[in-house]
Amino acid sequence: MEVEVKLRLPDSDSHQRLSDLLSPFHRKTLIQDNFFFDDADSNLSSNLAVLRLRFYDLDARCVLSLKAKPVISRGISRVEELEEPVCPQNARACLADPRLLWVSFGETKIMKRVSEEFGVRAGTGFQYLGRFGNVRGVYRWRELTLELDETIYEFGTSYEIECETRDPERDGALIEDFLRENGIDFQYSDMNKFAVLRAGKLPK
């Protein structure tokens, strides 16, 4: 189970101000490209699950993920997540032909779970659901790892700060206090990025 604090920032100015404040704690910046899939019968979506290929820094590496049963409330997100590194070149081939997901990754734990738990028959075709890009600044602040996201959809750009945590109430309060002390507006995220993608519009 992945548990995260997720706070949405209103605009690029707020994102830039927060980035400047956190700059002494910067560790790295990741360029992510995310692609999502379901089988032709929507067995994953109907069970609140989705298959994702995420490329880092073009084709430096790629991770296959299965996310399931997401719940988000007052800026705290909980989701079942399973991840496995995969060959970037094979993953790129799957973008052109999603049927190759079985050919390339059929022996992974994720694809076996897709078949056994969600009823997607091995060899069944997959459909492409969409993509978004993400620029993620990673910071180490007060023993927390903060991730500052600029997420680029075809219909607009959103900004968010995230923190994976074992104590979301405590750590969320720390982050909220920091934002308020520095005059940075925020809202609790009430949709994950994939839900925003499927909605086809930015949250208000």
What is the domain-level CATH number for residue 86? Answer: 2.40.320.10
Distance between CA atoms of residues 54 and 59, nearest Å: 10
Assigned token pair, 36: 């999502």
Please, which residues bridge with residue 158 across strands? Answer: 151
Name the residue with tokens 């973008």: 95
Q: What is the pLDDT of residue 125?
A: 85
Distance between CA atoms of residues 82 and 69, nearest Å: 12
pLDDT in tens, the chain (204 residues): 999 999 999 999 999 999 999 999 999 999 999 999 999 899 999 999 999 999 999 999 999 999 999 999 999 999 999 999 999 999 999 999 999 999 999 999 999 999 999 989 887 889 999 999 999 999 999 999 999 999 999 999 999 999 999 999 999 999 999 999 999 999 999 999 999 999 999 998
What is the pTM (predicted TM-score) of this model?
0.94
In a domain, 31, yes or no: yes
In a domain, 144, yes or no: yes
Q: What is the DSSP string of the chain?
A: -EEEEEEEESSHHHHHHHHHHHGGGEEEEEEEEEEEEEETT-TTGGGTEEEEEEEETTTTEEEEEEEEEEEEETTEEEEEEEEEEE-HHHHHHHHH-TTHHHHHHTTSHHHHHHHHTT---TT--EEEEEEEEEEEEEEEETTEEEEEEEEEETTEEEEEEEEE-S-HHHHHHHHHHHHHHTT---EE--S-HHHHHHHTS---
With beta carbons less than 8 A apart as the criterion, state whether 134 and 23 touch: no
Name the residue with tokens 């007052």: 74
In a domain, 22, yes or no: yes
In a domain, 89, yes or no: yes
Number of domains in the chain: 1
In a domain, 204, yes or no: no
CB atoms within 10 A of CB 89: 10
Domain that holds residue 86: 2-199
